[in-house]
Structure formats: C-alpha cells, structure tokens
Amino acid sequence: MYARVYVEITNICNLSCSFCHGCNRPPRRMSREEFSLVLDRLAGHTRYLYYHLMGEPLTHPELPEFLRMAAQRGYLSILTTNGTLLPTRGNALLECPVHKVNISVHSFENGTEEECFRYLSGIAAFASEATRRGTIVCLRLWNRGHDGGRNEVILEQLRTLFPEPWTENTRGYRLGERLFLEWGDRFEWPDKNAPVQSESVYCYGLKNQFGILCDGTVVPCCLDSDGGISLGNIFLQDAQDILSSPRAKAMAEGFRRRTPTEDLCRRCGYAKKFD
C-alpha cells in the first residue's frame, strides 16, 4: 500500500503564483467516468487520495461528487487549495466527506492588507466550520525566505481571526482543534532545463507515493508537472502493471541506492531536503 496517491482532477488554476512551476499541457478536467475508473484501479494500492499535482481542484464543477464517490469506495480525500474559492464553493465541500484540507495561504502574494484580511477571513470562516465537522485544516506558509515581509502581515491577521494561545510544534503551530499552521521553505521544482542539483538523490517517489495526471498519465511523484517521466496511463492499464514496469522498478531501486535513473530527478531542488 502506498501512503498516498496524487490524483490531478484538473490542471486548470484560477491563479498564476510565482512559486508554482505550472505546466505546458493542454487545459483539461478529468471526467466522472475517468475518475471512477481511477478509483477502481487504485483499489488496494492506497487509502489516501490527494487531489492535486497542478491545478486548483475547486475549479472542477464535479468535485463534490468526486469526493462522495471516493468515500463510498473507502478512500480518504485530501484537498490542497489556494483558498480563493472557499467563500463560494466551501459550503459544497462541507457537505462531502473530506479528511483534510491544505490551504496554501502563501498564494496571496499581492494586494493590500485589507484585501489580504478579506481573503483570510473567507478561509477562517471555512476552517472554523470544517474543523467543527471533523475535517482537519492546515494553513500552509511554504515560502520562508521569499515572502517579502508578507508572512508577518498574514500572521498578525491570523492572530485576529484565531486568537492565541497557539501551541508550537515541529512544523509550526496548532491554532485549535484540528486546525494547524505549517511552515515550509520555498523550493525549486524539477525542470529538464534546470541545472543538475545532485547526482545522489533519495526520493519517496514510487515508495510512498505516485501521481496521476488529469489525462491518466502515471508519474512517480507529485512534482512531475509536465509528465516528463511517464510510466503508463491508468485509463488504459492496470495500476499494478504500470508500477511493476521495468522503468518504474528501476527508478524505485535507484532511489533506494541514491543513484537516480532519470535525468529529471537530478534536477529536482525539492529532493535536497531528503539528503
């Protein structure tokens, strides 16, 4: 069993953030029939579905139905969102079984303090109701060193919306029951045109996780935004056949030995955190 599988239900996003690599693939949404097939073919491989590689999952009009379909088949759903659509689509999510929602509050890069507070207020309203209903909510500030002073504004406003005391932990703070604030460093995405980061690479790709792009392409990890390492297509093949292919097995063994078999992996800045 894999700890998680990333299922990109859409590569369409309503923002264009500086920290996001983006993708060069045509805009696409996974259909209900395709998502149902993905659920069938992931049976026995994981319990946890993460609804992103690229794209903003809340832009998908059938997201609530997808969440219900996943729950009916025993999966736990984890969403990662920029939070901008929660005021308009959050209520629909609250009617669905969602295990956890990660909100990238570092997505608010521009605008006035008043606009930032309005953005955070919408997130806070959603978080308060979601945690009351049993959903875990994690607010992410994954931009240390690149926030331009914005983080202090966000923290001050969050203290207004979620009064202290906060409990510090190894990742950030516990703000309340099922509610967390998590720090993270900005990282360099793998890119075929980026400089080589290291010849020695350890990664959890194909050990704890793999990803499925919205066109069905299976990739080894959540950072292969353009499907540069295509292992197969889950719309056409069983997951086990894809994951036991010579290329996939060679990658997994290469990571275990810290000798990556794929050039893209040598150009991944995120993997440096596992050194």
What pLDDT score was predicted for residue 217? 98
Residue 187: predicted pLDDT? 80
Q: Percentage of the chain with pLDDT > 70?
A: 100
The confidence score (pLDDT) of residue 145 equals: 79
- Burial of residue 2 (number of CB atoms within 10 Å: 0-12, 13-18, 19+): middle
Per-residue pLDDT of 201-245, as tens digits, reads 889 989 999 999 999 999 999 999 899 999 999 999 999 999 999
**Residue 246 tokens, joined:** 């010579």
Fill in the DSSP letter of residue 81.
Answer: E
In 3D space, the residue among 20, 14, 41, 105 whose CA is nearest the CA of residue 235 turns out to be 41
The pairing of strands 217-219 and 76-81 is: unpaired
The DSSP symbol for 261 reads S
Cα dist from 45 to 16, 79, 190, 218, 238, whole Å: 33, 19, 26, 14, 11
Mean pLDDT of 8-36: 94
- Nearest partner of 53 among 32, 30, 86, judged by Cα: 30
pLDDT at 101 over 80: yes
Prediction pTM value:
0.95
6: left (phi over 0), alpha (psi -120 to 50) or beta: beta
- Cβ-count burial 246-263 (b if 16+ within 10 Å, e if not): eebeebbebbeeeebbbe
Which has the closest alpha carbon to 7: 76, 61, 72?
Answer: 76
Three-state DSSP class for 232?
strand
Type of residue numbered 117: F
In whole angstroms, give the CA distance from residue 173 to residue 125. Answer: 19
The residue type found at 161 is L
